């Protein structure tokens, strides 16, 4: 398992790249297919996260039928295929279909990748894996903004994504030890989660940490450009900075957890910073507000990543994969309606209507997890 670290990191980067590769090309897609920002949001977010949602929903069944390494190999192939479909799209509906395949790939990586990282390197490798998730979005947004500024075709972004998806394949081991029981119980998962207050508190933190940044990232470039002070390249660099800082904070969060810092302290401190950052973004799209927002969101939104994955495999103790998968289902359902709504608010020049509720959600998630969910089920 000597290559486990690079494999986990590259898996995360390649899959999460799909969460940022559309953000910088929203305007060209809208022009190409004569659709609104909200409709582009359907392809970039709703259909994409529908695929992520479907993979997570099937988590328990997939855990029984697929070995971890096999699930990750399928994810690589699906990710590449989905982006090829997008690159060749003659219509908006075909593009949407390709986004579903890319979403399925990310969903499989989120389901099996965390288990792979934890089995191979514990909480510290979970931090590295989480860093790869955000770094993938970061580089995709930054590179996309640069390519847009250079006048490159939007199709190039998808060809790059298709090739990147296959990079981790040679590094994957033939077999990965599973943290799950030989066979998780096949009945009662939803009932068990429904009766667990810990599960629902951790669900809020999962949404705040894993998908709120993706919702913001989907629109950050077009939002910053809409003010007129920043061009696509500058907005892409700021978006890159946000997710690069988030990647660093995910790795830092893993080290903090490993060193014994209480998960509740991490969750609460991060929530305050993240909520203030989103509020700063709502206050204005100028360079000054953007820099403040990037600094606060970068620190706050991603710091609890390792906490989420670590507690996610323990919140329902007899179902480590099923419980984590169900958490991801809820988190990845969140962007399906929210991303188009944020796009519509930006198009209507009312971004605060979208950003301020997101800030409130992040703050509530941190407060709810000041006493961490740690596998205690309450009826």
In the chain, the domains with their CATH numbers are: 4-173+188-368 (1.20.1250.20)
pLDDT of residue 173: 81
Give the whole-angstrom CA distance, residue 224 versus residue 292: 13
Q: What is the CA radius of gyration of the chain?
A: 19
Q: Which residues of 319-341 are buried (b: 16+ CB within 10 A; e: fewer)?
A: bbbbbbbbbbbbbbbbbbebbbb
Q: Which residue carries 């903090």 as its tokens? A: 256
pLDDT of residue 360: 97
pLDDT of residue 183: 59
Extract the residue ranges of the chain whose pLDDT is less than 50.
180-182, 375-379
Give the chain's largest Cα–Cα span. 57
pLDDT of residue 369: 93
pLDDT of residue 77: 95
pLDDT of residue 379: 35
The tokens for 265 are: 């302290």
Comparing CA positions, the residue from 105, 31, 138, 161 lying closest to residue 332 is 105
Sign of the C-alpha dihedral computed for residues 185, 191, 197 and 200 taken in this order: positive
pLDDT of residue 60: 60
Give the whole-angstrom CA distance, residue 228 versus residue 230: 6
pLDDT of residue 244: 86
Give the phi and the psi of residue 334 in degrees, each rounded to 5: -55, -45
Q: Is the pTM of this model over 0.85?
A: no
User: In sequence order, which residues have a C-beta less than 8 Å from that of residue 311 and are 6 or more positions away?
Assistant: 202, 263, 372, 373, 374, 375
pLDDT of residue 184: 62
Sign of the C-alpha dihedral computed for residues 275, 279, 282 and 285 taken in this order: negative
Comparing CA positions, the residue from 164, 173, 172, 211 lying closest to residue 305 is 211
């Amino acid at each position: 398992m000597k290559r486990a670290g690079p494999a986990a990191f590259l898996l995360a980067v390649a899959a999460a790249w799909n969460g940022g590769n559309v953000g910088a090309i929203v305007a060209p897609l809208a022009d190409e297919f004569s659709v609104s920002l909200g409709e582009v949001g359907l392809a970039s977010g709703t259909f994409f996260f529908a695929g992520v949602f479907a993979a997570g929903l099937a988590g328990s069944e997939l855990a029984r039928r697929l070995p971890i390494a096999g699930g990750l190999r399928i994810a690589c192939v699906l990710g590449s295929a989905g982006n090829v479909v997008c690159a060749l799209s003659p219509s908006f509906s075909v593009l949407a279909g390709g986004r579903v395949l890319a979403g399925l790939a990310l969903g499989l990586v989120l389901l099996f990748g965390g288990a792979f990282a934890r089995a191979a390197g514990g909480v510290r490798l979970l931090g590295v894996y989480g860093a790869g998730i955000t770094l993938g979005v970061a580089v995709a947004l930054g590179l996309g903004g640069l390519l847009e500024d250079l006048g490159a075709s939007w199709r190039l972004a998808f060809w790059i994504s298709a090739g990147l998806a296959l990079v981790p394949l040679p590094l994957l081991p033939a077999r990965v030890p599973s943290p799950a029981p030989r066979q998780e119980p096949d009945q009662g998962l939803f009932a068990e989660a429904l009766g667990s207050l810990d599960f629902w508190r951790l669900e809020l933190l999962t949404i705040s940490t894993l998908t709120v940044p993706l919702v913001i990232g989907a629109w950050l470039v077009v939002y910053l450009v809409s003010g007129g002070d920043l061009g696509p390249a500058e907005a892409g660099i700021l978006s890159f900075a946000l997710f690069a800082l988030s990647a660093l904070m995910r790795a830092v969060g893993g080290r903090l957890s490993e060193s014994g810092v209480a998960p509740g302290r991490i969750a609460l401190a991060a929530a305050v910073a993240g909520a203030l950052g989103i509020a700063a973004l709502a206050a204005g799209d100028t360079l000054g507000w953007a820099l403040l927002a990037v600094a606060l969101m970068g620190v706050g939104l991603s710091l609890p990543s390792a906490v989420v994955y670590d507690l996610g495999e323990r919140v329902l103790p007899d179902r480590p994969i099923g419980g984590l998968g169900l958490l991801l289902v809820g988190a990845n359902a969140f962007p399906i309606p929210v991303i188009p709504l944020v796009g519509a608010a930006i198009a209507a020049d009312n971004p605060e209507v979208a950003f301020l509720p997101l800030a409130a959600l992040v703050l509530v998630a941190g407060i709810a997890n000041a006493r961490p969910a740690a596998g205690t089920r309450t009826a």
